[in-house]
Amino acid sequence: MLALEDSRVAVIGMGYVGLPLATEFGKRMPTVGFDIDARRIEELKSGIDTTREVSPQELTEAAHIRYTNHAGDLEGCNVYIVAVPTPVDRYKRPDLSLLESASRTVGKVLKGGDVVVFESTVYPGATEDVCVPILEAVSGLVLNEDFFAGYSPERINPGDRAHRLTSIRKVTSGSTPEAAEFVDALYGSIITAGTHKASSIRVAEAAKVIENIQRDVNIALVNELAIIFNRLGIDTLEVLEAAGTKWNFLPFRPGLVGGHCIGVDPYYLMHKVQETGYHPEVILAGRRVNDGMGVYVARQVIKTMNRAGLLFCNAKVLVMGLAFKENCPDLRNTRVIDIIDELRSYHVDVDVYDPRVDPAVAEAEYGVMPIREPGQGAYDAIVVAVAHDEFREMGVKRLRGFGKDTCVLYDVKHVFPAGEVDGRL
């Protein structure tokens, strides 16, 4: 079994998950950061991280790392960590194409004694049933005879400056007891919060998906409560704050559920479990509620405009925020787009403002080009869809300055007090 002190690490995928990982390993041991995106590699070589997850100083501190988009540069490594996206397709089915491609890339350079660890979110069994056969077929090697595998699910929370890679306990696993020990020690060398060694790769895979399914279902419950309380004329946040005075009440809040994890992971488990003939009920119900919240918010905005005597047809609305969550530029699976699309179905003219996102990415992914700066007195309604700090700092007075005298302000994320807005989720 490979010795920890002899490890030469390659991290495959320099996104929100892979870059922080590569940076931490690069502070301690020889590390290669690999990505197929040449532009991304050039940015990192220049000390720039457009995801804003790693600071220029942290990039500099990773003195033992080198970045590349050439697969041949991986040949000198003996530990390969795969951290590529695992989205769903338009039919909500797992899309493992990037994971399969990364496995083929690693398979071409895999040698006897090497270890391959996967961090990408998958359904239980995917590592051993999908990835390992690719590694074996491409390399000609055999698992647990010539090379070893492990799984350690990512727990990155984009935009969260408090919960960082090293301060979040890491789940680890391996294809043999010895491999599990090595993977656990490998991550233990960088994770100050400690590790939890699972008994098998499948247990670790399952743990990852249910972490986010639990959040998804809890948020769905609160979203449904928000719909109910809106119908009853009761402020949802006041109810949640009152209930929260009980020690065991969980502090979930209503909102849009997007991103690369919570809105995606349930479909991975559902895909696998449906092969057994079981049809999940609670998980699917939660997904339906959360997937419908963007449309619900848009219709609430229309109703708020109607109550104010505003005509919504050809009205001009400003949507504040496009990222899937506050204080990050991540646009993956953002459900703000559902608000925009539904408003446009009412023949509303929608502008989108988000100072954190890359306009070119927004246009390429969603056909939305964010404006550079909102105009003064231009809008019939303003929707605060994402709780960026920039929006909080603007305050209600400045936000209302973007609107006409009769403009309504709708607050999706409870950024401002109820008495200062005209409607909120």
Taking the C-alpha atoms of residue 71 and residue 49, their distance in angstroms, rounded to an integer, is 21
The answer to whether residues 333 and 259 touch, using CB atoms and an 8 Å cutoff, is yes
The answer to whether residues 180 and 150 touch, using CB atoms and an 8 Å cutoff, is yes
- Owner of token pair 């997007």: 258
DSSP state, 375?
P
CA-CA distances (angstroms) from residue 91 to 87, 360, 367, 379?
Answer: 11, 26, 20, 36
DSSP state, 267?
H
The runs of H, that is alpha helices, within 33-173 are 38-45, 56-61, 97-107, 126, 132-139
Any idea which residues carry the catalytic annotation? 261
Taking the C-alpha atoms of residue 18 and residue 85, their distance in angstroms, rounded to an integer, is 10
The answer to whether residues 107 and 69 touch, using CB atoms and an 8 Å cutoff, is no
Dihedral angle, C-alpha 192, 163, 3, 153, nearest 10 °: 140
Q: Is the dihedral of CA 411, 331, 156, 289 positive or negative?
A: positive
Neighbours of 95 (CB within 10 A): 17
The Cβ-side half-sphere exposure at 56, using a 13 Å CA radius, reads 4
Taking the C-alpha atoms of residue 254 and residue 252, their distance in angstroms, rounded to an integer, is 7
The answer to whether residues 22 and 47 touch, using CB atoms and an 8 Å cutoff, is no
The answer to whether residues 407 and 337 touch, using CB atoms and an 8 Å cutoff, is no
Taking the C-alpha atoms of residue 403 and residue 410, their distance in angstroms, rounded to an integer, is 12
What are the backbone angles phi and psi of residue 116, rounded to the nearest 5°?
-120, 125
